[in-house]
Chains A and B, each alone.
Chain A
Amino acid sequence: MTEPPAAAYTLLRTDRFVARHIGPRRTDIHDMLGVLGYASMDQFIDAVVPEDIRLRRPLDLPPNRSEREVLQALRGIAAQNRVFRSYIGMGYYGTFTPQVIQRNILENPGWYTAYTPYQAEVAQGRLEALLNFQTMVADLTSLPVANASLLDEATAAAEAMHLTGSVKRVTGTPEYLVDPGCHPQTIAVVRTRAEAQGVNVRVVAADDMVFGAATIGCLVQYPATDGSVQDFAPLCTRAHLTGAVVTVATDLLALTMLTPPGEWGADIAVGNSQRFGVPMGYGGPHAAFFSCRDAYKRHMPGRIIGVSKDSSGRMALRMALQTREQHIRRDKATSNVCTAQVLLAVMASMYAVYHGPDGLRRIAERVHTQATMLADALRRLRYHVVHEHFFDTVCVEVRSANLQRILDAARDRKINLRVLDSHHLCVALDETTSVADLSDLISVFSLDVALPYMLGSGAVSPEPIPPALARRSVYLIHPVFHRCHSETEMLRYIKRLEAKDLSLTAAMIPLGSCTMKLNATTEMMPVSWRELNRLHPFVPLSQAQGYQLLFNQLETWLAEITGFSRVSLQPNAGSQGEYAGLLVIRAYHRARGDVHRTTCLIPMSAHGTNPASAVMAGLTVVPIATDERGNVDLADLRAKAEMHCDTLACLMVTYPSTHGVFEASIREICRTVHDHGGQVYMDGANMNAQVGLCRPGDFGADVCHLNLHKTFCIPHGGGGPGMGPICVAPHLAPFLPDHPVVPQGHAQSCGTIAAAPWASAAILPISYAYIALMGHDGLAEATKVAILSANYIARRLADHFPILYSGTNGLVAHECIVDMRPFKQSAGIEVEDIAKRIIDYGFHPPTVSFPVPGTLMIEPTESEPREELDRFIDALIAIREEIREIEEGRAPRENNLLTNAPHTLVQVIGDVWDRSYTRERAAFPAPGLREHKTWPTVGRVDGAYGDRNLVCTCPPMAEYGAT
């Protein structure tokens, strides 16, 4: 290749992104290859990735672009969306995000780049915000146990139905009753889940519900989708006589004025917390809530934050009752859900902290008053307002002949109304509705006839909230909801919590299987553009042309990257992708008359979500052994495929394997399953090792999901949001998810997976931007560096620790497993002690005890610079020496640097120091820590204490900061 002339150099763009995304510099890469004994990157990659699956051409994607070019392209796309005033309701409402929350949480990497708070000692900030969220939900719904968010309202309702089935067990086919006043998307998601689970759903009005022996429970909505507010107390009485469980989908803002469900007898409450300051975002991401009676806490889905104490006896928070969850209970888990919607739950909880109970009540009263004024005006205009009792949504009867005229008048004013049916319209008001908006709405309905009266002059409506349903109980009495009503206090509270947590802004988070790579600022910027985040998910497609363009482009790119033909962006998380993909496979078999194909083979090394998802999709799990090298045991696979050949639905396989190895036999694995009539589901959790090097669609998979929050740069948000689109081969395309409100045109669809048609649409520009910035060349380069960095770590640690599992040539893929089990015998040190000691070195620990108990799994990603890799490796080696001191009797087996880790500032500066080592070694074990260190704010958290005494709402103030 000839060098370009010098003059041309000076005209090259100076803002290329690829080298900003990739951490190691060119010289570092050269050195790292040298450590591994390879002369070039190509030679190295050839040694890692099996030749028979290699993609020997560049991906058919545009070349890399600069940050400015991509932002400009995205601005052009966003400009094609048209932001109308939407009064559609249906679980999505306009809201004012307090700017102090937008800038300091939504747009702040200190919050959005953190991981799920498994390491509680460096996560007390978001744990506190989530405890506030749970307290807010428990108070407003008046049900004592709340979780720290689910993916959306519809899936929360489906989870409630599942819980219902474990509370009331029946013989024969269980029946579940759903009131038609629920949102259509909620009903569709519940139906899809029920169908796979063998539950018979009947849509029947609450007043007509009959609870038989097989009726496990019912779902109602309060206020209903058409705005009506009904007293469900008599329904609860009838249901409870038979042991049936009543779930109510509800609205937090309405509950500041309406009698809360827990007071009239509901057993479970679910809903969307979006209108507490989270933009609509064309469907998401938002945090759904879930609260229930105390008796159901062990059946509850999702993450629960609980209060416990640390090694010094001080209050400390952590995730509670984890044995319910898929990562422990696998196919017997309460749900397959992993990620929550932490960032959005934090925002909603902060909205409540910012406004307090009085502020929330004022917002609710204002919305309600406006709805009452609107109802009044409509009645004066001789419309029939259908429901006497409502909160914020007015349902109005219109003559069919007038319907189109009203809609035209609305469109002229850039207003969206909800068409309930051919002669009913609904108008849902919200926090953002102004008096001018109200007057516009009235003009729409008056069809421009001058009003014969002044707005708000003398109400003619009856009291829209009946006295029996007017809330009398107090809520949000905890001081945290009363202290931060000035912006100064609010800002400091947000910052104080942020400072307690370790995020990517402080150090590497080398969590294996989690891909904690750079979430670049440019990628994040569109998230707060109004053209993208103000859209209601159910606006006419003509107003969302920008989004449609973006979806189409992203789908095309993801299809090319995976080697598949079609993509569905509906699954809202990896777990939902698995569930959706399996439903697609199930629908495919059924369409061919193979209704008996319900066996799902899963390697024992699989992530717990796999078996949990399979069970949710109505499949029966048959485990496949793994051999001593961590690979799928081919002989066992063949035997099981043979044994179950009549019922085989599919194999779920992660690639590279959960052990972080490119299994050479993947093609044969896929072929074996196909030969026995099964389909291959590939879990895309480890896609970061494949992009640009090989494609699941080429080596035999039929469907895979992608964790956009791993490989494609959506930040983890401290435990959500995520996105889990699925990519399928052509024969599965007709079975992709559909949506009742915005049809997707899949003739033989497997059903509806998420509340919104494109799930968390507002974060898709992040993945779009990443792919556009990197281009085919940058993406492949990123994959190579991710693999190189993992192997570099493995090689440098190999002299100090056993490294488990590697592929051909002794190389790992994009992550490596370090075995800590020997130290239990040699020094009485558990893997947990080592993980906590890593915190003292200023890092977030790697993945603990997955996929192998007693090990750490490290995934550096391509974004971590060489210096950071070395700092981390040196920390692990130093910890090995600390263990050696114990092994050799130079340090005691108890009360040592590891068993006491992590060390808090309070501990090391305390007057009493009774340790066998110095304060300095405790706190500053490595160079550089004096200069910068994220301190754990609590000592080792006592998980057992908190699980034995579950407290999942804010404890009295005296507990905070008590020593």
Chain B
Amino acid sequence: MADIPAGLLYTPEHEYVRRTSDPAVVEIGITDFAQGELGDIVFVDLPKAGASFTRMGVFGTVEAVKAVSELFSPLGGVIVESNAALEGDPGLINRDPYGTGWMIRLRMSDPGELTGLLDAKAYGAKIGE
């Protein structure tokens, strides 16, 4: 049973979005369900701070031993920070997807795009839980 914390927002592509203390900045990672489907994650390719993406733009890739998946930016914006800890320990995504396994912090170009995301209930329904 995959963990789907209430209070976060989700995409059908299995990313989550968490608001931060800065209302214009969100934290993004992949869901517990996604990490479970991929299996042991061995590598993540993340953008540098300052890179900008449109909504649904590919911001990186995540690789397991026998699977690879592109990461789609749930929102448009500019990268504030990528999680450097993942470079040395990509397994953090498996162990703690919603915590230390976060991937990027993004300064949104249009916070209005948040309304297009799913809540925990809707995402749970989407993955059949």
The residues of B that contact A298 with a CB separation of less than 8 Å are 43, 45
Query: How far, in Å, is A39 (CB) from chain B's closest CB?
Result: 45
Residue numbers in B under 8 Å from A947 (CB-CB): 42-43, 63, 65
Within 8 A of B (CB), among A411-447: none
Q: Which 4 A-B pairs give the minimum distances between C-beta atoms?
A: A944-B40, A947-B42, A943-B65, A323-B68
CB pair B68–A944 under 8 Å, yes or no, is no
> Other than the known A323-B42, A329-B68, A947-B43, what 5 A-B pairs have Cβ atoms closer than 8 Å?
A323-B43, A328-B68, A943-B65, A947-B42, A948-B90
Within residues 926 to 952 of chain A, which ones have a CB less than 8 A from any CB in chain B? 943-944, 947-948
Tell me how far the C-beta of B110 lies from the nearest C-beta in chain A, rounded to whole angstroms. Answer: 27
Residues of B within 8 A of A323 (CB): 42-43, 63-68
Near A by CB (< 8 A), chain B positions 55-88 give 63-68
* Residues on the A chain within 8 Å of B45, using CB: 298
State the CA gap A948–B41 with chains docked (Å).
8
Q: A943-B40, A947-B42, A948-B42 are in contact. Are A328 and B91 (CB under 8 A)?
A: no
Chain A proximity of B65: nearest CB distance (Å): 4
- CB pair B68 A943 closer than 8 Å: no
CB-CB under 8 A from A322, the residues of chain B are 65-66
In the bound complex, do residue A328 and residue B67 qualify as a contact, i.e. CB atoms below 8 Å apart?
yes
Contacts of A849 in B (CB 8 A): 66
**Can you name the residue of chain B whose Cβ is closest to the Cβ of A949?**
B42
Nearest residue (CB) in A for B70 is A332
Annotate A948-962 by CB proximity to B: 1 below 8 A, 0 otherwise. Answer: 100000000000000
A328 touching B66 by the CB < 8 A rule?
yes
Return the chain A residue nearest B42 by Cβ: A947
Q: In the complex, A323 Cα to B63 Cα: how many Å?
A: 7
Question: Given the complex of chains A and B, what is the CA–CA distance between A322 and B39 in angstroms?
Answer: 14
Complex Cα distance, B15 from A58, in Å, reads: 59
Chain A residues closer than 8 Å to B64, beta-carbon distance = 323, 944
**Which of chain A's residues has its CB closest to B94's CB?**
A944
Contact with B along A832-843 (1 / 0, CB 8 A): 000000000000
In this complex, how many residues of chain B approach chain A with their Cβ under 8 Å: the count is 14
A831 to B: closest C-beta gap in Å? 11
Which residues on the A side are within 8 Å of B42 (C-beta)? Answer: 323, 944, 947-948
Collect the chain B residues with CB atoms within 8 Å of residue A943's CB: 40, 65-66
- CB of A806, distance to nearest CB on chain B (Å): 27
A323 CA to B43 CA, complexed, in Å: 10
Q: Which residues of B contact A328 (CB under 8 A)?
A: 66-68
Bound together, the chains give a CA A943 to CA B91 distance in angstroms of 13
* Interface residues, chain B, with chain A CB atoms under 8 Å away: 39-43, 45, 63-68, 90-91
CA gap between A948 and B43 in the complex, in Å = 7
Interface size on A, residues (CB 8 A): 10
A849 and B64 alpha carbons, distance in the complex (Å)? 15
Chain A proximity of B44: nearest CB distance (Å) = 11
Looking across the interface, which residue of chain A has its beta carbon closest to that of B41? A944
Tell me the complex Cα distance, A614–B43, Å. 27
Q: What is the bound-complex CA distance between A947 and B90, given in angstroms? A: 11
Please, which residue of chain A has its CB at the minimum distance from the CB of B88?
A: A948
Complex Cα distance, B66 from A849, in Å, reads 10
Bound complex: CA of A943 vs CA of B64, how far in Å?
9
Query: Can you name 14 A-B residue pairings with CB atoms under 8 Å?
Result: A298-B43, A298-B45, A322-B65, A323-B65, A328-B67, A943-B40, A943-B65, A943-B66, A944-B40, A944-B42, A944-B91, A947-B63, A948-B42, A948-B91
CA distance A329 to B66 in the complex (A): 10
Shortest distance between the CB of A845 and any CB in chain B (Å): 15
Report Cα–Cα, A849/B43, bound state, in Å. Answer: 22
Measured CB to CB, the closest approach of chain B to A29, in angstroms, equals 38
Nearest B residue (CB) for A943: B65
Q: Which residues 400-417 of A have a CB within 8 angstroms of B? A: none
B41: which A residues are within 8 A, CB to CB? 944
CA distance A943 to B39 in the complex (A): 11
Query: Which A residues lie within 8 Å of B65 (CB)?
Result: 322-323, 943-944, 947
> A947 to B41, alpha carbons, bound, how many Å?
9
Interface centre among B39, B43, B64, B65 (most CB of A within 10 A): B65
A323→B90 CA distance, assembly (Å): 15
Residue of B nearest to A322 (CB): B66
Interface centre among A298, A328, A947 (most CB of B within 10 A): A947
CA distance A120 to B90 in the complex (A): 24
- The residue in chain B whose Cβ has the minimal distance to the Cβ of A327 is B66
Complex-state Cα separation, A329 to B39, whole angstroms: 16
Residue of A nearest to B89 (CB): A948
Q: How far is the CA of A948 from the CA of B90 in the complex (A)?
A: 8
B68 neighbours in A (Cβ, 8 Å)? 323, 328-329
A255-302 with Cβ < 8 A to chain B: 298
Nearest CB in chain B: distance from A941 CB, A: 10
A162–B66 Cα distance when bound, in Å, is 23
Cβ–Cβ < 8 Å partners of B43 in chain A: 298, 323, 947-948
Residues of the B chain whose Cβ atoms lie less than 8 Å from the Cβ of A948: 42-43, 90-91
B37 to chain A, nearest CB (A): 10
Shortest distance between the CB of A85 and any CB in chain B (Å) = 49
- Could you say which of A298, A328, A948 has the most chain B C-beta atoms within 10 Å of its C-beta? A948
CB distance from B85 to the nearest CB of A (A): 13
Most chain A C-beta atoms within 10 Å of own C-beta, residue among B41, B63, B66, B90? B66
CB distance from A299 to the nearest CB of B (A): 11
The answer for the CA separation of A298 and B67 in the assembled complex, in Å, is 14
Minimum CB–CB distance from A853 to chain B (whole Å) comes to: 9
Q: Could you tell me the distance in whole angstroms from the C-beta of B59 to the nearest C-beta in chain A?
A: 15
Complex alpha-carbon distance, A298 and B45, angstroms: 10
A329: B residues at CB distance < 8 A: 68
What CA separation (Å) do A329 and B62 show in the bound complex? 12
How far, in Å, is A243 (CB) from chain B's closest CB? Answer: 16
Considering only residues 290-324 of chain A, those with a C-beta below 8 Å from chain B are: 298, 322-323
Closest partner residue, chain A, to B69 (CB atom): A323
Please indicate which of the listed interface residues B41, B42, B45 has the most CB atoms of chain A within 10 Å of its own CB. Answer: B42
Complex Cα distance, B7 from A677, in Å, reads 54
- Taking each of A298, A329, A943, A944, which has the highest tally of chain B beta carbons within 10 Å of its own beta carbon? A944
- Chain A residues with Cβ below 8 Å from B39 are 944
Please indicate the chain A residues that have their CB under 8 angstroms from the CB of B67 in the complex.
Answer: 323, 328
Q: How far is the CA of A322 from the CA of B67 in the complex (A)?
A: 9
Distance of A623 from chain B, by nearest CB (Å): 16
- How far is it, in angstroms, between the C-alpha of A322 and the C-alpha of B43 when the chains are bound? 12
Give min CB distance, A195 to chain B, whole Å: 28
Complex Cα–Cα for A298 and B90 (A): 15
Interface residues of A in 842-859 (CB under 8 A from B): 849
Docked complex Cα distance between A298 and B61 (Å): 12
Q: How far, in whole Å, are A323 and B67 apart by their CA atoms in the complex?
A: 6
Interface string of A538-562 (1 = CB under 8 A from B): 0000000000000000000000000
Provide the residues of chain A in CB contact with B91, threshold 8 Å.
Answer: 944, 948
Interface centre among B40, B41, B91 (most CB of A within 10 A): B40
The interface centre, meaning the residue of B43, B67, B68 with most chain A CB atoms within 10 A of its CB, is B68
Q: What is the bound-complex CA distance between A865 and B64, given in angstroms?
A: 39
- Nearest B residue to A849 by beta-carbon distance? B66
A715 to B41, CA, bound (A): 35
Which residues in window 378-408 of A have CB below 8 A to B?
none
Give Cα A329 to B43, complex, Å. Answer: 14
State A329–B68 Cα separation when bound (angstroms). Answer: 7
Report Cα–Cα, A947/B64, bound state, in Å.
9
Alpha-carbon separation in the docked complex, A613 to B83 (Å): 35
Measured CB to CB, the closest approach of chain A to B6, in angstroms, equals 27
CA distance A944 to B40 in the complex (A): 6
Q: Once the chains are docked, how many angstroms separate the CA of A103 from the CA of B68?
A: 42
Complex Cα–Cα for A323 and B64 (A): 8
Bound complex: CA A943 to CA B67 (Å)? 12
- In the assembled complex, the Cα of A947 lies from the Cα of B44 at a distance in Å of 12
**Complex: A329 Cα to B45 Cα, angstroms:** 15
The distance in angstroms between the C-alpha atoms of A948 and B67, with both chains bound, is 14
**B15: min CB distance to chain A, Å:** 19
What is the CA–CA distance of A557 and B43 in the complex, to the nearest angstrom?
Answer: 48
A828, B41: Cα distance in complex, Å: 20
* Alpha-carbon separation in the docked complex, A752 to B91 (Å): 44
Contacting B at CB under 8 A, from A899-949, are 943-944, 947-948
